[in-house]
């Protein structure tokens, strides 16, 4: 016979620090455009120029609210002709609780865009399909690598200028 008991739930009054939290309060299309200047028969595989930009701003109401914006742009070229241009600004409203200041920027510029990306990817695929082209399926994005690249660029620029600005992640 063993003497075991059910695990006890942690007692919040025992002086333990509250766990960090991230809540998605909403996500939405801020801006969407699709231009179709060169639609017609294309024999060659188009070259797709893709751009990604991530930014985060504190919400005016405060209370740990932040708007994170994921901007995707794509321009398709074939045989010197622009087939289509699409731009999407997809945003989410996030509430952060009990997050240390050192973790705030990586959370906003890595984890939040990671949550938004599948939805933004679907919008871009649908708008290109509705424009008469095969859906543009954007490959998954490594937001950690994107953040690290921008962080290094910001450090180098700060060293050259003598200050330390916060980076916005761009590709």
Tally of structural domains, the chain: 1
Q: Per the domain annotation, does 101 fall within a domain?
A: yes
Q: Can you give the CATH number for the domain in which 116 is found?
A: 3.10.420.10
Q: Per the domain annotation, does 168 fall within a domain?
A: no
- The closest alpha carbon to 38, from 143, 123, 111, 131, belongs to 131
**pLDDT exceeds cutoff 50 at 15:** no
Asked if residues 119 and 27 have their Cβ atoms less than 8 Å apart, the reply is yes
Q: Which pLDDT band, with edges at 50, 70 and 90, does 43 fall under?
A: confident
Q: Per the domain annotation, does 59 fall within a domain?
A: yes
Q: Per the domain annotation, does 46 fall within a domain?
A: yes
pLDDT tens column, 84-138: 999 999 999 999 998 888 899 999 999 999 999 999 999 999 999 999 889 999 9
Q: Per the domain annotation, does 154 fall within a domain?
A: no
pTM for this predicted structure: 0.79
Q: Per the domain annotation, does 4 fall within a domain?
A: no
Domain containing residue 94: 20-138
pLDDT tens column, 58-91: 988 878 899 999 999 999 998 888 999 999 999 9
Beta strands in 10-139 (DSSP E): 21-35, 47-58, 65-78, 81-97
- As a whole number, mean pLDDT of residues 20-39 equals 92
């Amino acid at each position: 016979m063993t003497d075991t008991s059910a695990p006890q739930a942690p007692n919040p009054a025992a002086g333990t620090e509250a766990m960090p939290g991230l809540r998605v309060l909403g996500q939405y299309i801020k801006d969407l455009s699709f231009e179709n200047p060169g639609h017609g028969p294309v024999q060659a595989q188009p070259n797709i120029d893709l751009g990604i930009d991530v930014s985060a701003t504190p919400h005016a109401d405060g209370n740990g609210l932040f708007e994170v914006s994921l901007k995707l742009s794509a321009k398709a070229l074939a045989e010197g002709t622009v087939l289509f241009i699409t731009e999407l600004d997809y945003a989410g409203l996030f509430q952060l609780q009990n997050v240390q200041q050192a973790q705030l920027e990586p959370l906003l510029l890595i984890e939040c865009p990671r949550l938004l990306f599948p939805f933004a990817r679907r919008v871009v695929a649908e708008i290109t399909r509705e424009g008469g082209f095969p859906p543009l399926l954007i490959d998954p994005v490594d937001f950690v690598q994107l953040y690290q690249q921008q962080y290094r660029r910001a450090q180098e620029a700060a060293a050259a200028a003598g200050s330390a600005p916060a980076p916005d992640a761009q590709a």
